[in-house]
Amino acid sequence: MIYYKTTDEIKLIRESSLLVSETLALIAGILQPGITTLELDTKAEAFIRDNGARPSFKGYRGFAHTLCISVNDEVVHGIPSKREIKNGDVVSVDCGVYKNSFHGDSAYTFLVGEVTMDAVNLAKVTKESVYKGIEMAVVGNRIGDISYAIQNYAESFHGYGVVRELVGHGLGKSLHEEPEVPNFGARGKGPKIQEGLVIAIEPMINLGTKNVVQENDGWTIRTKDRKISCHFEHTIAVTKGKADILSSFEPIEIAVKGNKNLYQEAETVS
């Protein structure tokens, strides 16, 4: 069953989602070669708790950390460790926050130092595909319209691999609610989009094959061909017929621009 949210509930989800954005901005400000993914995780947890919230991911199905940090060919669910970030790494950071009884969820991919143009282009298209999906999140459409828009842009127009095994989702009082929001599919299929729908739209796009494998740790998902992957995610609510983006990339990208260790994008998208 899809749980549609009231205006007051959406306000609370926005508060949680913006705290996620601020947490990712914190990471953007300190991310550099030599820092470990565990250090990033520790600082994120402290920041979230200092702001009166708790990490959504920590303890979820046994996951032991605040952030999912996935590097290069890791698609999602990378486990923070003593691994050091290196120049040229593609670093996806996924974060969830639980505050005032509601979750927020967002992800951003960072390019560290001197990265390849393949990485630059993949990150650009993956982020753009989020907004292609959001454009379709309007009353009267169906979830498949979101899915098709993402797949068509990333796969048909740009030739990248759109991951099938992992999808976006509804969220609210639970981190994962109905409906599932695939990043591939057919127009006019799936549940109807109605006012009050809150979903996380999160394309996971690979430079090469769409196929992925799971590591022995039971969490980390990698590309099967070991080529890089990117991941961006927004939490959105459907209000008054159209999508309202509850999370924000703006503070993240301000922090990116202030960090000389990260690749600088030409444009900022809020």
Q: How far is CA 113 from CA 91, 120, 144, in A?
A: 11, 11, 37
Does the pLDDT value for residue 269 go beyond 50?
A: no
Q: Which of 111, 95, 100, 110 lies closest to 247, judged by CA?
A: 95
The stretches of the chain forming alpha helices (DSSP H) are 7-30, 37-50, 117-135, 143-151, 250-257
How far apart are alpha carbons 50 and 44 in whole angstroms? 10
What tokens appear for 74 in the block? 């890791």
Q: Which residues partner with 36 through β-bridges?
A: 84
What tokens appear for 150 in the block? 């993402």
Q: Which CATH superfamily is domain 7-257 in?
A: Creatinase/methionine aminopeptidase superfamily (3.90.230.10)
Q: How far is CA 154 from CA 53, 74, 160, 228, 254, in A?
A: 35, 18, 6, 15, 26
Entry pTM: 0.97
CB 141 within 8 A of CB 149: no
Sequence-ordered list of residues with C-beta below 8 angstroms from that of 264, at least 6 positions apart, any chain: 256, 257
What are the residue boundaries of the structural domains of the chain, listed by start?
Answer: 7-257
Q: Which of 2, 6, 1 lies closest to 196, judged by CA?
A: 6
Average pLDDT (70-87) is 98
Q: Which of 240, 153, 158 lies closest to 201, judged by CA?
A: 153
What tokens appear for 177 in the block? 């609610």
Q: What is the pLDDT of residues 126-171, one digit of tens each?
A: 999 999 999 999 999 999 999 999 999 999 999 999 999 999 999 9
pLDDT at 265: 67
How far apart are alpha carbons 216 and 130 in whole angstroms? 30
Average pLDDT (221-226) is 98
How far apart are alpha carbons 178 and 194 in whole angstroms? 13
What tokens appear for 82 in the block? 């003593």
Does the pLDDT value for residue 257 go beyond 90?
A: yes
Stretch (H or E) spanning 105: strand 102-111
Length of the chain: 270
pLDDT at 56: 98
How far apart are alpha carbons 166 and 140 in whole angstroms? 25
pLDDT at 266: 42
pLDDT at 268: 37
Q: Which of 81, 106, 122, 126 lies closest to 20, judged by CA?
A: 106
Q: What is the pLDDT of residues 81-135, one digit of tens each?
A: 999 999 999 999 999 999 999 999 999 999 999 999 999 999 999 999 999 999 9
Does the pLDDT value for residue 25 go beyond 70?
A: yes
pLDDT at 241: 85
Q: What is the pLDDT of residues 161-216, one digit of tens each?
A: 999 999 999 999 999 999 999 999 999 999 999 999 999 999 999 999 999 999 99
Q: What is the pLDDT of residues 55-67, one digit of tens each?
A: 999 999 999 999 9
